[in-house]
Amino acid sequence: MNSILILELVVGIIVSFTLLGIFIWAIKGGQFEDSKKMMESPLFDTPEDLQRAVEQEIKVKKLKEKKLNRDKQKKLNSKE
């Protein structure tokens, strides 16, 4: 039983250090250095993209309101 736990611990440590090494390698390789894209992305939005985003926000807001109203009705019905 103890040998299985030791084996799992060793394998877990090896996998953890491997993933940490891959992460450090990616950082040094510049994989996460795309700050310009985030700052410049609004410059390339078309009016259609912005309209779709507004419509999506309205849709989400309506769905949240419907759910809230449904929950209120369920509470009222359960109290009766």
Q: What is the pTM of this model?
A: 0.43
What's the pLDDT at 32?
77
End-to-end CA distance of the chain: 57
| Alpha carbons 7 and 27: distance in angstroms, whole number | 30
Residues 7 and 25 in one domain: yes
pLDDT of residue 25: 95
Cβ atoms of residues 17 and 11 within 8 Å: no
Domain count across the chain: 2
Residues 6+ apart with CB under 8 A from 32: 26
Q: How far apart are CA 27 and CA 39, in angstroms?
A: 20
65 and 46 in a common domain: yes
Do 22 and 1 have their domain in common? yes
Per-residue model confidence (pLDDT) at position 78 = 79
Domain that holds residue 6: 1-33
Token pair for residue 40?
Answer: 């410049």
If the chain, 80 residues long, is cut into consecutive pieces of 10 residues, what is the mean pLDDT of each piece? Answer: 91 98 92 72 77 92 91 79
